[in-house]
Structure 1
Amino acid sequence: MTTDESTGAAGGTARGLVLASHPGPTAAVTVLTALLAWSAGHDPARGALVTVAVLAGQLSIGWSNDLVDARRDRAVGRVDKPVASGAVTERAVRVACGLALVVTVALSLACGWASGLVHLALGVAAGWGYNLWFKRTAFSPLPYAVAFAALPAVVTLALPVPALPAAWVLVTGGLLGVGAHLLNALPDLDDDEATGVRGLPHRLGATRVRRLAPVVLLAGSVVAAYGPGIDGTGLGLLAVCVGLTGVAVVGRGRLPFVAAVLVALANVVSLVARPG
């Protein structure tokens, strides 16, 4: 193999690994973590540590998802999945996933025992649990609810004086996680059913999911708006979230999930604007 061929192969593997990591959701959770760290008052170095720890955990979850689903994805011809399409080898993804887990454990514990254990036990374990079992059951929203609710706690427990976030923050996170799960599952309902995956969205059906998900997202936004005391920022938050929820209702493909992520982002921006 020539040098150019080796470089091209390495570049192809790197690109495949990025795509197999579920870059959209991974980037979204990472950005949300960075904003939460800023809101909590972390200094830049500590905030970066928490954010990179969460990023490593998300990478491990994304890569494990593609590994677990590789056989199913091949069966339904998912050319958008790098492992199933052959864009990257399973071995490369396994190695990357293992390294990401090692980094996740090291960085999480470097954030402090409380923050690290919450991240590993409630965040990363929830994501892996979803990939390995929950996605096939009626309890499929549970890992999303737990992981999204735990994320603010991962951040605040990493402070010099560890503290739990306010209860309304945890409730908001849990509700937004459930809404995101429902909308994320929508485009793949038929492919999933064809290979025996029947989570809660599959059991409800597309029509019910489209009706339920916006209600859950708006419930989370209402909690976020009223939790610290309603004000102009809170009312503005609700207005933005109502608009984004409308996009989630009428959108197709991945657009509803993108709208759900933007609802979560709007809630976190609101938290940054008025901590409490």
Structure 2
Amino acid sequence: MTVNVAAGGLVRACHPEPTAAVTALSGLLALRLGHSPATLALVMAAVFTGQLTVGWSNDLIDAGRDRLVGRADKPLATGRVTARTVRVALAVAAVLCVVLSLALGAAAGLVHLFLVGCGVAYNLVLKRTALSWLPYAIAFGLLPAVVSLALDPPEWPPAWMIAAGALLGVGAHLVNVLPDLDDDAATGVRGLPHRLGPVRARVTAVVVLAAASVLVVLGPGRPPGWAWAGLAVVGVLVVAALRGRGATPFRAAMAIALADVVLLVLRGGG
């Protein structure tokens, strides 16, 4: 195995898309809250290593299941990277996550480590239970708190932001699992989306994400015009997600989640 192949496999095994998305979200929130460049970089570094910890632990735990169902997109299942390499990378990421998180201050650091712990708990146990949504709700709900508690002095974000983040997390969980329902069922995974079934899971995801949009727009006070425009766009996407065919509902639900992130960042500073 060449170094390039192993490195590429290691990148794929960390779940690069959600890792990049959550890290970017933390950076945008930090920028919106007025953090200095140094603290902004520290926030993003802590969140990045936390996401690496969650992503690599997920693929290590699921390696046997992924091989069983022939997941060609999973490097550990295809042999593009060895379990030993991922374990070493995971250990390094976990140590860096602890150090960088605590460097943000005790409050922000402990909240972030709790958030990462929820992600690992999902990988280990909760993804196979009816509580599979809970780690996502906690993690997305508390992410704004990690950023605001890193301020000097530390402060908790408003309740609407925590609630909207939690709704966004639940919706993201439902949407993320939809493409893998059959593979998961074949290996005995029965989280909330599996118990709901594909149709009810999709509808629930759309409703939850739309609720997050409404909360973000109305929560911080009188909404500006652009916020109402964003909510109107979400309304169009909700119709597409509920009435569309083929890949349209999934793509529309993903677009609602993206709109929620944009609205959350833009409304979060005021």
Give the TM-score of the pair, scaled to structure 2.
0.94
Q: CA deviation at 1:91?
A: 0.6
- Asked whether the 8 Å contact 1:233–1:270 carries over to 2, the reply is no
- What corresponds to 2:57 in structure 1? 64
- What corresponds to 1:252 in structure 2? 247
Alignment of 1:41-60 (within 5 A): 41-60=34-53
Q: CA deviation at 1:81?
A: 0.4
CA distance in 1, matches of 2:77, 2:253: 23
Please give the per-residue CA displacement for 1:162-203, whole angstroms capped at 9, x wherever unaligned. 000000000000000000000101000011011000000000
- What corresponds to 1:156 in structure 2? 148
- Asked whether the 8 Å contact 1:136–1:198 carries over to 2, the reply is yes
Query: Residue type matched to 1:82 in 2?
Result: P
Q: CA deviation at 1:72?
A: 0.3
Q: Which residue among 253, 260, 265 is the counterpart of 1:264? A: 260
Which runs of 5 or more residues in structure 2 are unaligned? none
Deviation beyond 6 Å, 4+ runs, structure 1: none
Give the TM-score of the pair, scaled to structure 1.
0.92
CA distance in 1, matches of 2:234, 2:103: 35
Alignment of 1:52-201 (within 5 A): 52-121=45-114, 123-201=115-193
Aligned-pair identity in percent equals 56
Q: Structure 1 residues 111 and 248, CA, compared in 2 at 3 Å: closer, same or farther?
A: farther
- What corresponds to 1:215 in structure 2? 207
Query: Residue type matched to 2:126 in 1?
Result: F
- Asked whether the 8 Å contact 2:57–2:123 carries over to 1, the reply is yes
Please give the per-residue CA displacement for 1:75-99, whole angstroms capped at 9, x wherever unaligned. 0000110111111111101110110
Please give the per-residue CA displacement for 1:131-179, whole angstroms capped at 9, x wherever unaligned. 0011000000000000000000000000111000000000000000000
Q: CA deviation at 1:268?
A: 2.8
Aligned length: 266
- Asked whether the 8 Å contact 2:161–2:264 carries over to 1, the reply is no
Which runs of 5 or more residues in structure 1 are unaligned? 1-7
Query: Residue type matched to 2:247 in 1?
Result: R
| Residues 50-59 or 258-267, more deviating | 258-267
